Amino acid sequence: MQMVEQAVQRLKGHVIEEDPDPTLQFPVSAFIPEHYVTDPHHRLSLYKRLTACGQIGELALLHGEIQDRYGPPPEPVERLLEVMQLRTHAKRLRLASIEVHDQTTKVVFHPKAVIPESSVHRLMDQLKKRLKFLSPLAFEIQMRQSDWPSLFSELNAILQSLDLCDTKTIQRDANVS
């Protein structure tokens, strides 16, 4: 649906700015195993559909569909869905990259990202001394744990928090206009 809207906007002569596709580096094995989805065309189709999901709700629906069609997903598929959830948040926030090494997570915003001041303050209040700003567009977080379930949970909560601030700012700005 989004592709159709973008095509219509292009035909009208409007410049469409593509969302950046963030680079994600996580210490987790996230994929669809051949033994789970044996047909390579179906596997490729699932990867494409996962990539096309623009909202967490779409990922949840696809997760349910995968379960219904192929049975309970093995761990690598569950990890893939978690990575795609983080990717969805990262795209909405216009992040250029998220890199996790041991217990350190580096987050870099795209140069054209608009970072609301309220998001920065909320992040500082939430993370306190575990947060280190590297530049106006990058920061580092010392994570509490280094195992994937803990990393995913904490990083997801941080990105949701930033996303909530961003959404509130956008709504407020729209009401002012």
Task: Give CA 176 to chain center in angstroms.
Answer: 28
Hey, where are the domains in the chain?
A: 17-168
DSSP letter for 105, please: E
pLDDT digits (tens, 9 = 90+) for 82-123: 999 999 999 999 999 999 998 999 999 999 888 788 888 888
- Which residues does 37 contact at the CB level (< 8 Å), separation at least 6? 43, 46, 70
- Which residues does 9 contact at the CB level (< 8 Å), separation at least 6? 16
* CATH tag for 17-168 (out of 3.40.50.300, 3.90.1150.50, 3.40.109.10, 3.20.20.100): 3.90.1150.50
pLDDT digits (tens, 9 = 90+) for 24-80: 999 999 999 999 999 999 999 999 999 999 899 999 999 999 999 999 999 999 999
Q: Tell me the CA distances in angstroms from 151 to 55, 57, 155, one per residue in order.
A: 21, 21, 6
Quote the tokens at residue 12. 């009208």
**Does this model's pTM top 0.95?**
no
Looking at residue 94, what is its pLDDT? Answer: 92
